[in-house]
Amino acid sequence: MKNEAENPSDEKKCGFVAIIGAPNAGKSTLVNNLIGQKISIVTSKVQTTRFPVRGIFMHDQAQIILIDTPGIFAPKERLGRAMVASAWGGATDADLLVHVVDAPSISRVLKSTPQKGDKLNFEDVERVHEGLKNYKGNVILALNKVDLIDKPELFELAKNMFDLGFYKEVVMISALNGSGLAQMKTKIAQYMPIGPWHYPEDQVADLPLRMMASEITREKVFLRLHEELPYLSSVETENWKNNPDGSVRIDQTLYVGREGHKAIAIGKGGETLKWISMNARKEMCESFEREVHLFLHVKVRENWMGDPRHYNERGLDFNA
């Protein structure tokens, strides 16, 4: 089930690969594990990646720049529309698309034994297929979570999806435990165009540090607050000051839409905000390899999702 790319060359290669798929299909986990370290938010909630995040890894003579796009779904509000537009924008500019699919979920729908969320996931996969009908570039199908599906069902699903005619190759992976990722790297490298590297060989991301700090804290908000609040909140890094001793002071604001949400974010005696801040600071210290002094505050900003600045700073189209 493959259509070979151009023969590999000893010349340097460099290209962009857009990782697309339904929300929570495992795209961010895949990006993080291909690169070898965390650059994208990974939680059990859908729609946690709000804007494309570029990660970089090397394979032989190829420098591969991964674009972890927001999930493709049916948007209901302005932010959702901007996220989906961003996902397809990243896809159309890439040299290769990798469509990540939750294999067990889709297989259950096809067998008429769906679990909670499977039908919505199936609809989102069909939505991706609609977008691929007019796409002329190369696409690899990555069937994910293969450790959670029986082999006969997996092979049947792979054949059925390959026969749709959208894909050059099918790879079977577990983004979480790393199964199949070595083969996937080789496949991706074959499709990269010959050309100079865009980044130093040891660079793994081009996300600005201020934005990365905001994303780290936003992930902790998702992990701590399990209900509605995370989707109605935003984290902004207001100030970044490098100290003479090599440490950094970071001032951040967690914006929420209502006064009631502010109380939830702070928690009884400030316990919730303290947990978010402590865990965010710990990860920032590890990621930035320096001591971090994090000061996190909560403010109410009504209709923050209607503020064009929030979109422009993240490379999203406010008018999508």
Give average pLDDT by consecutive 10-residue segment, the chain, 320 residues.
52 90 82 76 43 77 82 41 47 85 96 93 89 89 96 96 96 96 96 90 72 86 71 79 90 87 90 95 88 94 59 48
Q: What residue type is 82 in one-letter code?
A: A
Q: Which domain holds residue 125?
A: 13-190
Q: Report if residue 101 sits inside a domain.
A: yes
Q: Report if residue 199 sits inside a domain.
A: no
Whether residue 164 sits in one domain with residue 79: yes
Name the DSSP letter for residue 174.
Answer: B
Whether residue 262 sits in one domain with residue 171: no
Whether residue 171 sits in one domain with residue 35: yes
Q: Which tokens hold the place of 169?
A: 């190759």
3-state DSSP assignment of residue 255: strand
* Boundary residue ending a domain (162, 190, 218): 190
Q: What is the CA radius of gyration of the chain?
A: 20
Whether residue 219 sits in one domain with residue 85: no
Whether residue 247 sits in one domain with residue 160: no
Q: Report if residue 140 sits inside a domain.
A: yes
Alpha helices, DSSP H only, in the chain? 27-35, 78-92, 103-110, 118-132, 151-162, 181-190, 209-224, 259-266, 271-288, 308-312
Whether residue 228 sits in one domain with residue 133: no
* Boundary residue ending a domain (190, 220, 248): 190
CATH code assigned at 281: 3.30.300.20
Name the DSSP letter for residue 99.
Answer: E
Q: Report if residue 59 sits inside a domain.
A: yes
CA distance 58 to 62: 6
Q: Report if residue 198 sits inside a domain.
A: no
Whether residue 53 sits in one domain with residue 146: yes
218 close to 234: Cβ distance less than 8 angstroms = yes
Count of CB atoms situated within 10 Å of the CB of 180: 19
Strand partners, 14: 63
CA distance 24 to 42: 9
Whether residue 265 sits in one domain with residue 135: no
246 close to 290: Cβ distance less than 8 angstroms = yes
Whether residue 213 sits in one domain with residue 186: no
Whether residue 278 sits in one domain with residue 241: yes
3-state DSSP assignment of residue 235: strand
Using one digit for the tens of pLDDT, what is the confidence trace for 116-150? Answer: 989 988 988 998 898 888 888 999 999 999 999 99
Tokens 């590890």 locate to 286
Whether residue 78 sits in one domain with residue 183: yes
Q: Report if residue 202 sits inside a domain.
A: no
CA distance 164 to 126: 11
Count CA within 13 A, CB hemisphere, residue 58. 12
Q: Report if residue 319 sits inside a domain.
A: no
Number of structural domains (the chain) is: 2
59 close to 185: Cβ distance less than 8 angstroms = yes
CATH code assigned at 132: 3.40.50.300
pLDDT value, residue 74: 37
Whether residue 169 sits in one domain with residue 220: no
Q: Report if residue 197 sits inside a domain.
A: no
